[in-house]
């Protein structure tokens, strides 16, 4: 399957900040002059001296890493991964069952189905029909990308609400030293604070989603994406615990790295190019080697601008799923689907 994706520059492709103090720190300046013991403000200043606006990460205490919390995080990682793939397997079954039910009812009671369809079409507004038509024209990758992007944009908007920032710091930033260590492992995957951060990650996700879904399907893709998000967070936890460097992490790049690594390993001869430099092309196989090499160097040398451990964790899981998981683990869902089918029972005629 021939693919041609556009790869963003390294810094914008894998933006997952480990040290948020360096990424999000903003400085505000005011022109002041002291005259007769009073503060004089510039013309743009208000009568009252405004409070200093602090980015929520500036005053955050990283805390102490309790080794016992890593066991808790490990159990959550395994449980969430198994649950994710089980859930998408049931989703796949229900989609097939729904189509089979429609076909069965059409064959046994065509008149009833026809009357029901006509009634629904009459009730459907013109706007809804237009939206349905536009949605059906989208590729499978775009149909899954839009909800994922919407979730990320929603969380991005929540960061803009000052009253929610303590809640966001607690649950939408992963930190092995925090009180809450489990749910932030997945919630931080949908969390971005800066506009550039979310743009870069969503651009890369959109670029590679069609290729990955073309090979995996929507259900397996979503299971891989969600599981990689948690696994990359756990890899970040382990690295921070070993190095005794607690800190906040957020961003979707760990999960996106799994998708990127899967596509590059599945189609290593695909020619990629850099945004704004389309004249320079390189193979996908070479790209993933360079990217993972840079992340490995970042882990060894202690670079702190990106969460390189999370990147490596996500990429490693993507490679594992390409060479082993999709061939040997995904087919085992048949056991679960068989039990679920018995629980659901035969298709009803009515």
Measure the N-to-C terminal CA separation of the chain; round to a whole number of Å: 42
Give tens-digit pLDDT for 291-341: 999 999 999 998 888 899 999 999 999 999 999 999 999 999 999 999 999
**Is 311 part of any domain?**
yes
Q: Classify burial at 299, counting beta carbons within 10 Å of its beta carbon; exposed 0-12, middle 13-18, buried 19 or more.
A: middle
Question: For the chain, what percentages of helix, strand and coil (3-state, to nearest 5) are there?
Answer: 65, 5, 25
pTM score of the predicted model: 0.79
Residue 51 has pLDDT above 50, yes or no: no
Residue 45 has pLDDT above 70, yes or no: no
Specify the number of domains making up the chain: 1
* Rounded distance between C-alpha atoms, residue 181 and residue 191, angstroms: 15
Closest CA to 233 of 218, 253, 217: 253
Q: Which of 39-53, 149-163, 271-285 has the lowest mean pLDDT?
A: 39-53
* C-alpha separations of 8 from 61, 269, 317 in Å: 33, 18, 21
**Is 250 part of any domain?**
yes
**Is 52 part of any domain?**
no
Closest CA to 259 of 291, 236, 234, 281: 291
**Is 300 part of any domain?**
yes
**Is 20 part of any domain?**
no
pLDDT of residue 303: 84
Q: What is the mean pLDDT of the chain?
A: 80
pLDDT of residue 12: 34
Q: Quick count: other Cβ atoms within 10 Å of Cβ 7?
A: 22
CATH number for position 143: 1.20.1540.10
- Domain, as residue range, for 200: 67-101+127-344
Q: Specify the higher pLDDT residue, 195 or 23.
A: 195
**Is 37 part of any domain?**
no
pLDDT of residue 34: 29
**Is 282 part of any domain?**
yes
Q: Which of the residues 59, 311, 328, 350 is marked catalytic?
A: 311
* Rounded distance between C-alpha atoms, residue 11 and residue 155, angstroms: 22
Mean pLDDT of 3-18: 35
User: Which phi and psi (to 5°) does residue 258 adopt?
Assistant: -65, -45
Closest CA to 149 of 199, 183, 216, 219: 199
Q: Which of 77-81, 136-140, 219-223 has the lowest mean pLDDT?
A: 136-140
State yes or no: is 98 an active-site residue.
no
What percentage of residues in the chain have a pLDDT greater than 70?
75
pLDDT of residue 13: 36
State yes or no: is 45 an active-site residue.
no
Angle at 159 between CA 153 and CA 165, to 5 degrees: 150
Contacts of 223 (CB under 8 A, 6+ apart): 84, 85, 87, 88, 89
Q: Which of the residues 227, 233, 253, 308 is marked catalytic?
A: 253
**Is 277 part of any domain?**
yes
Q: Kindly state the helix (H) or strand (E) to which residue 274 belongs, with its residue range.
A: strand 271-274
């Amino acid at each position: 399957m021939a693919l041609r994706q556009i790869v963003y520059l390294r810094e914008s492709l894998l933006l997952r900040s480990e040290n948020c103090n360096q990424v999000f720190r903003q400085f505000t300046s005011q022109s002041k002059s002291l005259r007769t013991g009073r503060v004089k403000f510039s013309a743009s200043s208000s009568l009252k001296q405004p409070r200093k606006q602090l980015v929520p990460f500036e005053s955050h205490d990283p805390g102490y890493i309790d080794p016992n919390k890593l066991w808790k995080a490990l159990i959550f990682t395994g449980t969430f991964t198994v649950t994710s793939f089980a859930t998408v397997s049931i989703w796949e079954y229900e989609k097939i069952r729904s189509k089979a039910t429609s076909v069965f009812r059409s064959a046994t009671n065509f008149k009833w189905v026809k009357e029901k369809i006509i009634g629904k079409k009459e009730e459907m507004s013109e706007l809804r029909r237009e939206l349905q038509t536009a949605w059906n024209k989208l590729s499978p990758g775009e149909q899954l990308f839009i909800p994922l992007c919407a979730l990320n944009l929603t969380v991005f908007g929540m960061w803009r609400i000052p009253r929610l920032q303590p809640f966001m710091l607690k649950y939408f930033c992963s930190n092995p030293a925090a009180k809450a260590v489990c749910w932030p492992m997945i919630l931080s995957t949908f969390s971005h604070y800066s506009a550039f951060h979310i743009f870069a990650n969503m651009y890369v996700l959109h670029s590679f989603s069609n290729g990955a879904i073309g090979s995996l399907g929507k259900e397996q893709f979503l299971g891989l994406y969600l599981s990689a998000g948690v696994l990359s967070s756990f890899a970040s936890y382990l690295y921070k615990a070993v190095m005794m460097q607690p800190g906040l992490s957020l961003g979707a790049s760990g999960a996106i790295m799994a998708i990127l690594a899967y596509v590059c390993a599945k189609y290593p001869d695909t020619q990629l190019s850099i945004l704004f430099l389309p004249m320079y092309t390189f193979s996908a196989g070479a790209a993933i080697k360079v990217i993972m090499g840079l992340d490995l160097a970042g882990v060894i040398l202690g670079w702190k601008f990106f969460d390189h451990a999370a990147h490596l964790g996500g990429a490693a899981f993507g490679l594992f799923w390409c060479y082993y998981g999709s061939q040997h683990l995904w087919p085992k869902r048949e056991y679960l689907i068989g039990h679920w089918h018995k629980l659901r029972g035969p298709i009803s005629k009515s």
